[in-house]
Structures are given as C-alpha cells and as structure tokens.
Amino acid sequence: MLHPRPHDTSESDFIVEFRNVTCGYTGAAALSSVSLAVYRGDFVGLVGPSGAGKTTLLRTILGSVDIYAGEVLVDGKPVRSSRPLAGYVPQLETIDWNFPVTVEQIVLMGQANEGWFPWHKKEVRESAYSIMERLGIAHLGKRQIRALSGGQQQRAFLGRALLSSPRLLLLDEPTSGVDIKTRDDILHLLDELNHEGVTVLMTTHEINAVAAHLPWVICINKEIIAEGPPSEVYTPEILGRTYGAEMTVVHHEGMTLVAETPHQIGRSLRHHQKVGTQT
C-alpha cells in the first residue's frame, strides 16, 4: 500500500485545484463542473471509461485545453499564467513512431535549450544519463526509440518528464501495453518518486491491478463521480455510475476486487442449441 493522503491540510497544500471547471475542445465540453483538489504529496489515480475525459483532465493542468467556465490553479496560480511545472508522460499510443529519435534525444527533450546554442549543456546531458541509469535505460541511450519494448519506451518518456525535476508528475496510462513485471517496476518507481516529494497524478484503465493499490482514486465520467481510497469508492453503485455497466465488488482477505457482471452469452447459446435439438 502506498502512503495515505495527508489529512491536516489547507488550501496552500493544493498543488492543483479545479474550481467548477467546464472545459473541452472547439466549443464542446469534455468535462463539466469539475471541482477537485490534488494535495502536495498525493498519489492519485484517475479511472473511468474510454472517452470519460481522463486525458483531457491531465492536459487541462498543462494549459492545453480550452476552459469555458471555472478556474484551474496550479501551485496557486491560474494555469495559463505560469510555465507548466508538471512533467507529462503521454500515452504511448498517441506517439508517432515513424519519427526517428533515440532514447537519449527523447530524454533531452525534457529540457528546453537555453541561449543560442543548439546543443545541450554538459550538466544537462549528465543529469539525463543519471536519470536514465535510475530508470535502467542508460545502455539504450543511442538506440532508436521505435525499436524498443513498451516498458523501455515508457521509461524513456518518464525520463523526459523527470529531466526538469518536476514537483508534479502527470502520467497518461503509464502501465498500458507493458507486461506484469514492468508494470510493477513502473509503479514501484512512481512510489519512490512520490516518497521523494513528487506529487503523482495518473490515469489508468486497470482498476484492479493498478488503481486498487493507490491511496486515492478519482472516478470520472465527464464529471467527477466520486473520490476517495479504493476501499471506499469501489462500490457497485459508484463504479456502475462511472462505467455505465454493472460491476461486482468482492472483498477478500483485505483486498477489494472489481469484476464486470458477465452477460451470460455461453448459456444462452447452449439454450438455443437445446431448443434446436428439440425441434
């Protein structure tokens, strides 16, 4: 279990705050009337069905979504008035893999070049390599990113996000498309960063394997449905409203497990066969 959300908190402890926010694209709202606060030091999972607005919520914090109503504050300031202080790890699926680029180049993208020189300072390159060491990808520095596994690609983008030493890390499905061992490694690394003071906000569609292990979960479907520790928000009622589908929640030896209530396809087919043989 990761560390719990802090309790004795005040507004100055918010690193992100949404105040009744409606936002979206070209005039169409993707999220409506969203109010939420992310505290410094939080480790939060955003769950909800495809199209629920999870990516939009992360991108709103980065200032790249139109805000139609309400206000988004990052570190106490309106989102557009300051340089984004967040590191962002996009969904791997959204990346154009035809673009030839090495792991080292991806990580170095995390630091804007300063001044007139089209190359990176020695210190920046050194810190890129020390981050890559930590992520276990330093030996892959000169390799083309498109030739690597999903887990290695994920780490390269995590390296890019970490290069500017962000206090806030936003990750879009960081465990999607990786094997179980890599998923656990990534979560362990995020937990370590969180213990070092980095606030983590990540989306995930893995409600059992990922979100159930986080201290705080926000259920979203175009609006906030509920938030709290998984043991409190994983109820058939809340999950049903989030996913628009019947969900069964099982408590077993201190674990909370969620299962979709299966449609009985097999049985109805057998029923048809039986009917067929009778006629």
Shortest Cβ 203–ligand ADP spacing (Å): 6
Binding region for ligand ADP (CB under 6 A) out of 54-62, 76-84, 232-240, 265-273: 54-62
Question: How many Å apart are CA 173 and CA 206, to the nearest integer?
Answer: 9
- Does 136 bind ligand ADP (CB under 6 A)? Our answer is no
Please identify, using beta-carbon distances, which residue of 135 and 247 lies nearer to ligand ADP.
Answer: 247
Binds ligand ADP (CB under 6 A): choice among 3, 20, 25, 261:
25
Please identify, using beta-carbon distances, which residue of 220 and 258 lies nearer to ligand ADP.
Answer: 220
Binds ligand ADP (CB under 6 A): choice among 41, 45, 48, 87:
48
- What crossing angle do the helices spanning 150-162 and 122-135 adopt, rounded to 10°? 140
Please identify, using beta-carbon distances, which residue of 48 and 166 lies nearer to ligand ADP.
Answer: 48
Binds ligand ADP (CB under 6 A): choice among 56, 111, 127, 199:
56
Strands 255-260 and 224-228: unpaired
Those residues with Cβ within 8 angstroms of residue 215's Cβ, 6 or more apart along the chain or in another chain: 1, 2, 3, 4, 5, 42, 43, 229
Shortest Cβ 248–ligand ADP spacing (Å): 23
Report how many residues bind ligand ADP under the rule CB under 6 A. Answer: 10
The C-alpha angle with vertex 226 and arms to 220 and 231, in degrees rounded to 5, equals 115
Question: How many Å apart are CA 175 and CA 155, to the nearest integer?
Answer: 10
- Does 244 bind ligand ADP (CB under 6 A)? Our answer is no
Q: Which residues lie near ligand ADP (CB under 6 A)?
A: 25, 30, 48, 50-56
